Amino acid sequence: MKRIAIDMDEVVADAHLRFAEWYTRDYGTQFTPEQLHAHTFEDLIDPVHRGISKKYVFHDDFFKDLAVIPGCKEVIKDLHEKYEIFFTTAAMEFPNSLLPKLAWLGEHFPYISWTNIVFCGDKSIINADYLIDDNVKHFKRFIGQGILFTAAHNHHVEWDVRVNNWQEIRAMLL
Amino acid sequence: MKRIAIDMDEVVADAHLRFAEWYTRDYGTQFTPEQLHAHTFEDLIDPVHRGISKKYVFHDDFFKDLAVIPGCKEVIKDLHEKYEIFFTTAAMEFPNSLLPKLAWLGEHFPYISWTNIVFCGDKSIINADYLIDDNVKHFKRFIGQGILFTAAHNHHVEWDVRVNNWQEIRAMLL
């Protein structure tokens, strides 16, 4: 059975939206879905607030109850019939994310065992056939095929295998 | 550069000793180093307390300030010159262990980056040349060479590559 490793932030959990929500809460500025799709958070905000994402991301509540990326629950449920599924997230950078991420996965993917959850940093340590991730840096030394999941920050990044949404993952892998 | 994955409990951190310390605290029974070397904790204690390790291991303080297994600091420091070192621990089973384990590694191995720390469950997800672990179950589907580190619970386990202490790891890998 082939194995798929799946990143969390911007692939199944919408951290980008959380940045925007907190900025709206703190400064009133509203963002349209089109803006959020096209631009990174730091590009959208008032330049006087540049760097605020660093403050937000280390807050204890940042990773709690993140919105689910559309389509991932249905597609991963079906992938799980034909592949070994592991969630592999570079959580070590944010110790505040460890417990919220574990709780989030338990809530949204209760059929994925704790044995198949990986909190790491350098993803070249992952032994899988595919890695679905929004960050190409993890593909450079990855043993399998990296699949770039489109996110606001990677529109202009070059990578040979890219998907724009979970329906495209279904078409590619099922 | 070849890569070594190193387990934590009973390989670099002495959880076995913590069980004994807490039992002594709670019931007064003392254990000699020889007893601790030869027997599992559950085999040493009064049968009426059987199962108490399950209660201890989920306590918030269990993984805090565990003793360091003799020799590992010196040998890992030297291994780090010639190999990529990753710590790979099946921490997901014990969510209470995540933050204490991260703090413990930061204290005792400050030169190992967060990028090289992995909290997982099923270690077949680890892509490394060697895995030093006290549990052979992790070797069955491991991509590299499993090296069994002797612990009280594995004296009678069959595995072709076994080390009894960190000096033997030095002799094997350096």
Task: Return the CATH number at B101.
Answer: 3.40.50.1000
Q: What pLDDT does A57 receive?
A: 97
- In a shared domain, residues A8 and A23: no
Nearest CA in chain B to A121: B115
Question: Do residues B95 and B160 both lie within one domain?
Answer: yes
Sort out which chain A residues have CB atoms less than 8 A from B114's CB and list them.
Answer: 92-93, 121
Q: Do A126 and B128 touch (CB under 8 A)?
A: no
> Are both B29 and B109 inside the same structural domain?
no
**Considering all CA atoms of chain A, what is the largest pairwise distance in Å, rounded to the nearest integer?**
51
Shortest distance, CA B13 to any CA of chain A (angstroms): 19
CB contact under 8 A, B125 and A88: yes
Same domain, B21 and B83: no
Structural tokens at position A106: 């338990």
Q: Are A51 and A70 within one domain?
A: no
Q: Which residues of A touch B3 (CB under 8 A)?
A: 125
B127 and A127 within 8 Å at the Cβ level: the answer is yes
Q: What is the pLDDT of residues A15-65, one digit of tens each?
A: 999 999 999 999 999 999 999 999 999 999 999 999 999 999 999 999 999
Identify whether residues B34 and B99 lie together within a single domain: no
The residue of chain A with its CA nearest to that of B95 is A99
> A-side interface with B, Cβ within 8 Å?
3, 5, 86, 88, 90-93, 95, 98-99, 102, 113-122, 124-128, 143
Q: Which of B53, B54, B134, B120 is nearest to B87 (CA)?
A: B120
To the nearest whole Å, the CA of B113 is away from the closest chain A CA by 9
**Residue B47 belongs to domain spanning:** 15-57
Whether residues A20 and A9 fall in one domain: no
Is A133 part of the annotated catalytic residue set? no
Same domain, A47 and A131: no
Number of domains in chain A: 2
- Cβ contacts (< 8 Å) between A138 and chain B: which residues? none
Whole-Å CA distances, A23 to A17, A38, A136, B8, B101: 10, 17, 27, 40, 33
pLDDT at site B95: 96
User: Which residue in B3, B92, B112 has the most chain A C-beta atoms within 10 A of its own C-beta, making it the best mutation to test that interface?
Assistant: B92
Across residues B146-158, what is the average pLDDT?
98
Q: Is A7 a catalytic residue?
A: yes
Pair B39, B70 in one domain: no
The residue in chain B having the minimum alpha-carbon distance to the alpha carbon of residue A88 is: B120
**Taking CB atoms and an 8 Å limit, are B121 and A121 in contact across chains?**
no
pLDDT in the model for residue B143: 97
Give per-residue pLDDT as tens, A87-119.
Answer: 999 999 999 999 999 999 999 999 999 999 999
Q: A123: nearest CA in chain B? A: B115
For residue A54 the two structure tokens come to 């660093």
Are B125 and A93 an interchain contact pair (Cβ–Cβ within 8 Å)?
Answer: no
pLDDT tens-digit readout, B29-42:
999 999 999 999 99
Q: How many CB pairs below 8 Å do chains A and B form together?
A: 85
Looking at the structure, do residues A80 and A156 belong to the same domain, yes or no?
A: yes
Type of residue at A53: S
Q: Tell me, what's the pLDDT at A147? A: 98
Distance of CA B153 to the CA centre of its chain: 12
ipTM of this predicted structure: 0.96
Residues B70 and B125 placed together within one structural domain of the fold: yes
How far does the CA of residue B82 sit from the closest CA of chain A (Å)?
17
- Residues A69 and A163: beta-carbon distance below 8 Å: no
* Spatial contact of B133 and B150, defined as CB atoms under 8 Å apart: no
Nearest to A93 among B92, B99, B114 (CB): B114
For the residues B21-30, what does the mean pLDDT come to? 97
Asked whether residue B50 falls in the same domain as residue B122, the answer is no
Q: What is the average per-residue pLDDT within B18-28?
A: 98
